[in-house]
């Protein structure tokens, strides 16, 4: 295996979702395997099943048991299990969740050990994957703990937009109480560091959204902007950071003000992801900033209603691969021996 070409691991995700299909469709274009050495963590029988289901002729891959057996210029499938697995496209099952975790655990271990340069995660079902070894809201929290990082940030990226979130996969009823000075300050610092280290922006400008409608309307619709978010922004500015806001979320995106900033920090999941997916769906990528490793994923879920039907769009998965490659290159430029 030629390690001068980045080795990118791919966790297969939920085997009943669209993960296997978007993998096959992407690597059916063999030019992609010339840019990276891809290693899919799953099982060759899963790939074979979907190849036949999708009637994709001439699709080839190399089966391996360990990542050091991977071949350059080829799609490699690392068998994380040997037993037969029941595949039910479009159906949420605990069995599928269990094998999604087997894939993710092995891929993460190899990522931490430096055997692969980056990881692209295919969509999981956040309910069926839950078990003793995975008691997390999602990939972001799992990878933050596994890599020993003190803090992480869900950062959605596309060509013209980057949005991070202060609170991620938690109920909306818990958002306001979870927004603290430390939380917001930490997320801004992670975001600024990622923009510098991973995107090459020397002096990033960051916009911060308010929590309440109209950013509280001077306290009429909420006090968080006046008593918490605004003072935090002032403190960050006094420390030399180019941080602005808090902005009302609706007008901020409606007027395209986001184009004036290098990134946006939203207060909660849907406040950031609804505008992001509206503006970038199909080309957007989920990146976990703040980790010592590189992880990206497509901006969609398991898409059960269309799984196995041959109509899943692989564009976001392909974008996640290219973003992963770009991030690997940026970090190696920063630390040449990485």
pLDDT at site 336: 57
Please identify, in words, the CATH class of the domain defined by 151-290: alpha beta
54-78: burial string, b at 16+ Cβ within 10 Å, e else: beeeebebeebeebeebeeebbbbb
Which ranges of the chain have pLDDT less than 50?
none
- Is the CB of residue 9 less than 8 Å from the CB of residue 46? no
The set of residues, in sequence order, having a beta carbon less than 8 Å from that of 56 and lying 6+ positions away, is 24, 25, 28
* DSSP-assigned letters across all residues of 144-178: HHHTT-S--EEEEE-SS-EEEESS-SS-GGGHHHH
> Using CA atoms, how far apart are residues 80 and 39, in angstroms rounded to an integer?
12
* Residue range(s) of every CATH 3.40.718.10 domain in the chain: 1-149+315-338, 151-290
pLDDT at site 1: 67
Instruction: Pick the closest to residue 192 from 234, 161, 169, 164 (CA basis).
Output: 164
Which is it for the CA torsion 123, 125, 128, 130, positive or negative?
positive
What φ, ψ does residue 255 adopt, rounded to 5°?
Answer: -95, 5
Q: Is 106 exposed, middle or buried (0-12, 13-18, 19+ CB in 10 A)?
A: buried
Residues paired with residue 131 on neighbouring β-strands, in sequence order: 134
> Using CA atoms, how far apart are residues 19 and 320, in angstroms rounded to an integer?
13
Q: What is the pLDDT of residues 283-313, one digit of tens each?
A: 899 999 999 999 999 999 999 999 999 999 9
Q: Which fold has domain 1-149+315-338?
A: Isopropylmalate Dehydrogenase (3.40.718)
pLDDT at site 187: 96
For strand 7-11 and strand 37-42, is the pairing parallel, antiparallel, or unpaired?
A: parallel
- Tokens, residue 185: 């300050």
pLDDT at site 335: 61
Instruction: Pick the closest to residue 76 from 48, 41, 100 (CA basis).
Output: 41
Tell me which DSSP letter residue 308 carries: T
């Amino acid at each position: 295996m030629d390690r001068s070409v980045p080795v990118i691991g791919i966790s297969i995700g939920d085997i009943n979702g669209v993960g296997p299909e978007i993998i096959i469709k992407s690597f059916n274009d063999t030019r992609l395997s010339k840019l990276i050495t891809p290693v899919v963590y799953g099982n060759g029988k899963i790939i074979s099943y979907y190849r036949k289901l999708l009637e994709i002729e001439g699709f080839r891959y190399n089966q391996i048991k360990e990542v050091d057996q991977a071949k350059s210029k080829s799609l490699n499938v690392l068998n994380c299990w040997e037993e037969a697995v029941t595949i039910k496209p479009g159906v949420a099952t605990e069995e599928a969740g269990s094998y999604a975790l087997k894939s993710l655990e092995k891929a993460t271990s190899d990522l931490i050990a430096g055997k692969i340069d980056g990881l692209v995660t295919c969509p999981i079902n956040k309910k069926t994957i839950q078990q003793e070894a995975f008691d997390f809201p999602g990939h972001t929290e799992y990878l933050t703990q596994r890599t020993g990082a003190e803090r992480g940030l869900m950062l959605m990226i596309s060509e013209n937009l980057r949005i991070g979130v202060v609170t991620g996969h938690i109920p909306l009823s818990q958002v306001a109480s979870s927004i603290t000075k430390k939380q917001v300050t930490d997320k801004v610092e992670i975001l600024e560091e990622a923009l510098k280290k991973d995107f090459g922006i020397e002096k990033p400008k960051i916009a911060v959204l308010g929590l309440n409608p109209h950013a509280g309307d001077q306290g009429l619709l909420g006090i968080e902007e006046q008593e918490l978010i605004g003072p935090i922004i002032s403190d960050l500015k006094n420390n030399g950071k180019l941080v602005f806001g808090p902005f009302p979320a609706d007008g901020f995106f409606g007027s395209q003000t986001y184009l004036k900033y290098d990134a946006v920090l939203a207060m909660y999941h849907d406040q950031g992801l609804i505008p992001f997916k509206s503006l970038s769906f199909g080309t957007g990528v989920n990146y976990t900033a703040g980790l010592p490793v590189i992880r990206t994923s497509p901006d969609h879920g398991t898409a059960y209603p269309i799984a196995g039907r041959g109509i899943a769009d692989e564009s976001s998965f392909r974008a996640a691969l290219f973003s992963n490659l770009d991030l690997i290159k940026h970090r190696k430029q920063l630390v040449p021996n990485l």
